[in-house]
Amino acid sequence: MGIDPNFDRNREQVGEENGVAVWGPVDPPEKLGIHGSHVAVDYDICVADGACLEDCPVDVFTWVETPDHPASERKVEPTREDQCIDCMLCVDICPVDAIDVDASRS
């Protein structure tokens, strides 16, 4: 099951990391929530294959360390989500559907 496309209505924003909104629940290291708003990455299902980071034409993503998370010990953070051009390549290429892009959440 992929990221909840309605997370901004179904979850509460519990804080920010590196200037990026974090949506709960969060209980590290197992539950890390969803990071981002316009470009959102579900850290709980991200497996960090890096395709989105490598293929994004405007370099929205950066690596962040997530020690001891069961899926992977690093994740892609939508650090520059304000630069997103809504091409949806990251959504299409993610092998576990951990990314959602929605212009209405800009």
User: Which residues are part of a known binding site?
Assistant: 35, 46, 52, 56, 84, 87, 90, 94
Q: Which residues of 52-75 are buried (b: 16+ CB within 10 A; e: fewer)?
A: bbeebeeebbeebebeebebeeeb
**Annotated binding residues for [3Fe-4S] cluster:** 46, 52, 94
CB atoms within 10 A of CB 14: 13
Q: For residue 59, give both structure tokens.
A: 């370099």
**Annotated binding residues for [4Fe-4S] cluster:** 56, 84, 87, 90
* Single-letter amino acid code for the residue at 76: V
Q: Are 13 and 20 in contact (CB under 8 A)?
A: no
Q: For residue 10, give both structure tokens.
A: 């179904």
**Annotated binding residues for Zn(2+):** 35
